[in-house]
Amino acid sequence: MHVNEQIADELALEALKLIEATGNDDIVNDIAKTIGASSTTLEESFLTAVRVRRAEARARALIEAAKARVAESDGAAQSPSS
């Protein structure tokens, strides 16, 4: 991984953890503005990393929900009927 992408991903992970703890979504924009003042390349990589991590979280939640539905239907199929 290129150093730019590595730094951007680390910052994205920290920002997303901070958003989870505080509920303040403005953190991403504040960090992006600060980064962009010095490096537009890092700013773009950071914003991309945030979008990718958020998309990953949504996909994982969808997968877990599907697994739960499968487990639930398997449990119902294996239950003895009355």
The pLDDT of residue 62 is 97
The pLDDT of residue 81 is 58
What count of other Cβ atoms lies within 10 Å of the Cβ of residue 79?
A: 8
pLDDT digits (tens, 9 = 90+) for 13-29: 999 999 999 999 999 99
For 26-45, give one letter per residue: b (16+ CB within 10 A) or e: ebbeebbeebeeeeeebbeb
**Where are the domains positioned within the chain?**
3-76
Q: What angle do CA 28, 30, 33 make, to 5 degrees?
A: 105
Model pTM score: 0.83
